[in-house]
């Protein structure tokens, strides 16, 4: 059976999308809660975080679609399978990526329940996890054969 190669351009474009969105969110890391409540900071931060998370799971879905038997039906399944297939470390998948999938779903389906306080806390404490995901994917692109993939 012939392996379907990963599309470098698709992954690189999503990594760039993640980078741009995180850059838009980073200024909020230094804000106090009261300042975050001003203007449209919450809406802007929520938008760019959601876009970054969507790009993460687009990348995961794309990679998994190239691995026989690794199709996922949910974002949490994408996270789990990326760990099982060693695309990202198992611990990272279990402790970080599954939470990202859950928060992506919260932003999409339970958006009315998302609070300014929780969003700011995530921005201050968890953006590093998005950066870490990007670094793991860059390693996959540099040596896809180590992960059973081709380009």
Residue 2, in any domain of the structure: no
Q: What angle do CA 50, 51, 57 make, to 5 degrees?
A: 90
CA separation, residue 101 to residues 66, 69, 106, 118, 148 (Å): 20, 21, 9, 16, 24
CATH number at 43 reads 1.20.120.580
Q: What is the count of structural domains for the chain?
A: 1
* Structure tokens that stand for 91 in this block: 């611990």
Kindly report the pTM of this predicted structure: 0.96
Q: Residue 130: name the closest of 32, 25, 44 by CA.
A: 25
Calpha distance 121→32 (Å, rounded): 10
Task: Give me the domain span that covers residue 110.
Answer: 8-147
Is the pLDDT score of 1 beyond 80? no
Residue 67, in any domain of the structure: yes
Q: What is the mean pLDDT of the chain?
A: 96
**pLDDT of 69-128, one tens digit each?**
888 999 999 999 999 999 999 999 999 999 999 999 999 999 999 999 999 999 999 999
């Amino acid at each position: 059976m012939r392996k379907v190669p990963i599309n470098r351009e698709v992954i690189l474009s999503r990594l760039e999308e993640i980078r741009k969105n995180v850059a838009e969110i980073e200024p909020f890391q230094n804000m106090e809660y009261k300042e975050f409540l001003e203007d449209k900071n919450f809406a802007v931060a929520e938008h760019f975080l959601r876009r970054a998370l969507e790009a993460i799971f687009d990348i995961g879905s794309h990679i998994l679609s190239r691995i026989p038997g690794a199709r996922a039906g949910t974002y949490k399944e994408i996270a789990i399978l990326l760990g099982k297939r060693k695309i990202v470390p198992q611990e990272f998948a279990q402790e970080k990526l599954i939470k990202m999938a859950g928060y992506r779903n919260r932003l999409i389906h339970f958006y009315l329940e998302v609070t300014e306080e929780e969003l700011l806390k995530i921005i201050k404490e968890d953006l590093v996890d998005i950066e870490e995901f990007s670094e793991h994917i860059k390693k996959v692109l540099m040596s896809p054969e180590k992960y059973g993939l081709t380009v």
